[in-house]
C-alpha cells in the first residue's frame, strides 16, 4: 500500500487532467498559436504538477515516514533522508 | 506564423513525450508505486516542461519581440511588457 | 532546542555569506553593472538560500517530526501538516 | 548606463531590505528559533529576490535588447541569446 492509496482517485483524476492539458499544449503548437498563450498554459500545467507533488510529499510524510519513525530510530532516519532528497528535487525543479 | 514555427516539430515531439510521461505517472499511482518513485517522475516532467517554456521564451524574444522593436518603440515596449509577464509566470511556477 | 541546533554554526556561516552576496548585488546596482551580471548573482544567491531551506527541512523532519511521531499519532500528524505547508512555500518560491 | 539605471534607487532600497531580512534569518538561527518560522522567512526572501530578478529582466529587455535589435539583426540576436540564458538560470533557481 502506498502512502497516497487513500486518495488515489483524486490524484488519478488530476493526472488525467494534466495529461489532457499537455495534449492541448501540443495542439496549440501544432496550430501555431501565439507563443505567450502557449507559455501561459505551460506555467499552469507546471503549477498543477507541483501541487500533485506537494500533496504526495504530505501523504508520504504522514504515512511512510511517520510509520517508520514509530517502528525504529534507524528506519525513521532512513525515510527522512530519502524524503528530503525527493523534496530537494521538487524544490529545484 | 508563431516565433517557434521554425522548430515546431521539435516542440511537438518533446510535448508528446511529456504527455506519455504524465500518463506513466498516472499508471504508477494506479499501481500503488512507492511515493518517492512517483515524486522522482514528477520532478523530471516538471523540468522537461520548464525546458520547453524556456525554449519558447527565447524563440519569442528572437522573433516577435525583436521584430516589434525594429518596427517601432511603442510596439517593442508592448511586446517586452507582455513577454516579461510570461517570464514572471514561468519563474514563479 | 531547534532541530538544526546541532549544525547551527554551518547555517550561520552560510547565511552570513549570503548576506554578503546580497550586499554585493546592491553594490553592483549602485555601480551600474551590466544587468546580466547582476541577474547571474541573483540566481546564485537564490540557489544558496534554497539549499539552506532544504537543509533545514531535513533537520526538522529528522528531529521535530520524528520525535512527535514517536510520542503520539496526533502530534505526528500535526507536525506533518505544518512541515508540508512549509515545504509547499519553499517549492512555490 | 545599465538598463535599470532609471529605477536604480528602487532596486537599491529593495536589496538593502533583503540584506536585512537575511541578517534577521541568521539571528533567528542563532537564537534557536523554531525551524518552521525560519523556513517561512527563507521563502519570503527567496520571493523578494525573484521579484528583483524579474524586474531586472524586464528592464534589460526593454532597453539593452530592444536597442540592440534596432541597431542590427546580429546585435539583437546576441542580446536575445544572452538574455535567454539569464532567464533560464532564474527559472531554474
Per CB-CB distance under 8 Å, the chain B contacts of A6 are none
The domain of B16 spans 5-92
| Interchain pair C65, A69: CB under 8 A | yes
D27-40 pLDDT tens trace: 999 999 999 999 99
Residue B3 has pLDDT above 90, yes or no: no
Query: What pLDDT sits at residue D6?
Result: 86
Query: Does the beta carbon of B49 lie under 8 angstroms from any beta carbon of chain D?
Result: no
Q: What is the pLDDT at residue C43?
A: 97
Is this prediction's ipTM beyond 0.85? yes
Q: Give CA–CA dist D58/B76, Å, rounded.
A: 12
Contact C89 D16 (CB under 8 A): no
CB–CB contact C53 D42 (8 Å):
yes
Query: Are A91 and C65 a contacting pair at CB < 8 A?
Result: no
Q: What is the mean pLDDT of residues A24-34?
A: 96
* Cβ burial, residue B60 (10 Å; 0-12/13-18/19+): buried
Which pLDDT tens digit goes with each residue over B20-32? 999 999 999 999 9
Place of cell 503520539: C72
Q: Please tell me the predicted confidence (pLDDT) of residue A5.
A: 87
Q: Determine, for residues C42 and D90 on separate chains, whether the beta-carbon distance falls below 8 Å.
A: yes
Query: CA of D65: which chain B residue's CA is closest?
Result: B66
C-alpha dist (Å) from residue D36 to A30, A58, A91, C85, C87: 45, 15, 16, 9, 9
The partner residue sitting opposite B33, judged by closest CB among A2, A34, A64, is A2
* Residue contact D90–B88, C-beta within 8 A: no
- Grid coordinates belonging to B8: 515546431
Give the mean pLDDT of B39-63: 97
Q: Give the chains touching C; criterion: ≥3 Cβ pairs < 8 Å.
A: A, D
In order along its 93 residues, chain C shows pLDDT tens digits of: 788 888 999 999 999 999 999 999 999 999 999 999 999 999 999 999 999 999 999 999 999 999 999 999 999 999 999 999 999 999 998
Please give the DSSP secondary-structure letter assigned to residue C73: H
A70: alpha, beta or left, given left = phi > 0 and alpha = psi -120 to 50? alpha
The tens digit of pLDDT for each residue in A34-57 reads: 999 999 999 999 999 999 999 999
- Distance between terminal CA atoms of chain B? 27
CA distance linking residue D7 with residue D90, whole number of Å: 20
Asked whether residue A6 carries a pLDDT value surpassing 90, the answer given is: no
Best D7, D52, D60, D70 residue to mutate vs chain B (most B CBs within 10 Å): D70
**Which of A20, A24, A30, A39 best probes binding to B when mutated, by most B CB atoms within 10 angstroms?**
A39
- Structural domains in chain D (count): 1
The domain that contains C21 carries what CATH number? Answer: 1.20.58.1000
Q: Which of A2, A6, A87, A90 to mutate to test the interface with B (most CBs of B within 10 A)?
A: A2
Asked if residue C87 lies in contact with residue C79, where contact means CB atoms within 8 angstroms, the answer is no
Long-range contacts of B35-38 (CB under 8 A, 24+ apart): B35/A2, B35/A3, B35/A4, B35/A56, B35/A57, B35/A59, B35/A60, B35/A64, B35/A86, B36/A60, B36/A82, B36/A83, B36/A86, B38/A2, B38/A4, B38/A56
Q: Which helix (H) or strand (E) holds A91?
A: helix A73-92
pLDDT confidence of residue D5? 87
Amino acid at each position: 500500500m502506498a502512502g497516497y492509496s487513500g486518495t488515489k482517485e483524486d490524484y488519478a483524476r488530476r493526472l488525467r487532467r494534466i495529461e489532457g492539458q499537455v495534449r492541448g499544449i501540443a495542439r496549440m503548437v501544432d496550430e501555431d498559436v501565439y507563443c505567450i498563450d502557449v507559455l501561459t498554459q505551460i506555467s499552469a500545467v507546471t503549477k498543477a504538477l507541483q501541487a500533485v507533488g506537494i500533496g504526495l510529499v504530505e501523504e508520504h510524510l504522514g504515512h511512510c515516514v511517520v510509520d517508520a519513525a514509530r517502528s525504529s530510530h534507524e528506519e525513521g532516519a532512513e525515510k527522512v533522508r530519502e524524503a528530503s532528497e525527493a523534496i530537494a528535487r521538487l524544490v529545484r525543479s
